[in-house]
């Protein structure tokens, strides 16, 4: 049987769309309400229902806007790769904003009180490891912007994580005792043109780990500004922040190679 080129292209495109629809059909999600002390939180869990066994899992920590569609989309993407993924909530059920001043007010206490950052994220990690779809011995954490800071704090706390990935975060320098507790390898993905978290801040972070046994990697993307993976950031008109498709794709591939190594 011989197809003309336009018809062949149409059939091929149809086959790809059907395959994508079948793949999406196996991705399941649920919202999970939990607490940290008196604070009610709500996270978003995604997994591939066609996989019957417990699987490696990824905890996602949102940017300072709160848990939104960007992180939920990442959870579904990770589920499509065969992981279970849980996007936790740092602020409280339903707390999300597009106002940078409000976001700063919500994020501020976690920068000022690093123990609070560690305990609140630990509550989300506990929820993830309790899900029946998850292998609790194979869990990593990733974070975006503010979330990148938080996942490094989780590593400093000695959290049982296979690895930690910070996307355009602001990882704070290790305090006394942090490096000795850090078991998870760290992957820091940063934009060379990030003026909100300049390279000098990243150098302070790496300098604090220079004479330690912490396993860390730093990958810097030329021309990439702050929030380079955040697809919705351009609409916010934030000076110094911009989506960068190339850096987004490269950093995602870097994360996948890292996961292949640590899992």
Domain-embedded: residue 232:
yes
209: three-class secondary structure by DSSP: coil
C-alpha 240, offset from chain centre: 21
* 240 confidence band (pLDDT: 50, 70, 90): very high
Question: What value does the mean pLDDT of the chain take?
Answer: 92
Q: Quick check: 23 pLDDT over 50?
A: no
Q: Do 219 and 251 meet the contact criterion of CB atoms below 8 Å apart? A: yes
Domain count, the chain: 1
Q: Quick check: 70 pLDDT over 70?
A: yes
* 12 confidence band (pLDDT: 50, 70, 90): very low
Domain-embedded: residue 1:
no
Positive/negative CA dihedral, 193, 195, 197, 202:
positive
Q: Do 55 and 27 meet the contact criterion of CB atoms below 8 Å apart? A: no
Write down the pTM of the prediction.
Answer: 0.90
Least confident stretch, 11-20, 71-80, 205-214: 11-20
Could you report the per-residue pLDDT of 139-158, keeping only the tens digit for each?
999 999 999 999 999 999 99
Domain-embedded: residue 39:
yes
Calculate mean pLDDT across residues 55-75: 97
Domain-embedded: residue 6:
no
pLDDT at 17: 45
Q: Do 189 and 168 meet the contact criterion of CB atoms below 8 Å apart? A: yes
> What percentage of the chain exceeds 90 in pLDDT?
89
Q: Do 99 and 84 meet the contact criterion of CB atoms below 8 Å apart? A: no
* Burial (0-12, 13-18, 19+ Cβ within 10 Å), 93: middle
Pairwise CA distance, residues 144 & 95, whole Å: 17
Domain-embedded: residue 12:
no
Strand partners, 85: 46, 58
* 11 confidence band (pLDDT: 50, 70, 90): very low
Higher pLDDT pick, 18 / 243: 243
Domain-embedded: residue 16:
no
Q: Quick check: 186 pLDDT over 80?
A: yes
pLDDT at 10: 45
Least confident stretch, 9-13, 116-120, 151-155, 169-173: 9-13
216-221 vs 186-191, strand pairing mode: parallel
Domain-embedded: residue 15:
no
| Of 250, 241, 174, 246, the residue nearest 213 (C-alpha) | 174
Structure tokens at 67: 């848990």
Calculate mean pLDDT across residues 161-178: 97
Expressed as residue numbers, the domain containing 59 is 28-262
Q: Do 186 and 153 meet the contact criterion of CB atoms below 8 Å apart? A: no
pLDDT at 44: 98
pLDDT at 13: 46
Residue whose entry in the numeric block shows the structure tokens 């942090």: 178
Q: What angle do CA 120, 124, 128 make, to 5 degrees?
A: 165
pLDDT at 25: 64
pLDDT at 24: 62
> What is the CATH classification number for the domain harbouring 138?
3.40.50.1820
Domain-embedded: residue 10:
no
């Amino acid at each position: 049987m011989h197809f003309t080129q336009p018809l062949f292209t149409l059939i091929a495109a149809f086959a790809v769309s059907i395959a994508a629809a079948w793949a999406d059909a196996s991705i399941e999600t649920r919202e999970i309400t939990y607490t940290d002390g008196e604070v009610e939180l709500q996270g978003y869990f995604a997994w591939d229902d066609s996989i019957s066994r417990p699987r490696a899992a990824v905890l996602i920590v949102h940017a300072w806007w709160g848990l939104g569609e960007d992180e939920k989309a990442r959870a579904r993407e990770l589920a499509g790769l065969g992981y279970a993924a849980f996007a936790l909530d740092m602020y409280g059920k339903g707390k999300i904003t597009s106002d940078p001043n409000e976001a700063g007010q919500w994020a501020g206490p976690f920068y000022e009180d690093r123990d609070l950052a560690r305990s609140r994220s630990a509550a989300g990690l506990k929820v993830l490891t309790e899900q029946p779809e998850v292998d609790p011995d194979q869990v990593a954490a990733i974070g975006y912007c503010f979330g990148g800071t938080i996942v490094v704090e989780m590593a400093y706390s000695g959290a049982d994580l296979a690895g930690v990935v910070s996307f355009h975060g602001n990882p704070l320098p290790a305090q006394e005792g942090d490096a000795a507790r850090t078991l998870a390898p760290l992957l820091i993905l940063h934009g060379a043109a990030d003026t909100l978290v300049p390279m000098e801040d990243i150098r302070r972070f790496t300098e604090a780990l220079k004479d330690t046994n912490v396993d860390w990697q730093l990958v810097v993307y030329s021309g990439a500004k702050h929030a380079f993976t955040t697809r919705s950031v351009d609409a916010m008109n934030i000076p110094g922040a911009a989506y960068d498709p190339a850096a987004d794709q490269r950093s995602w591939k870097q994360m996948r190679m890292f996961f292949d190594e640590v899992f």
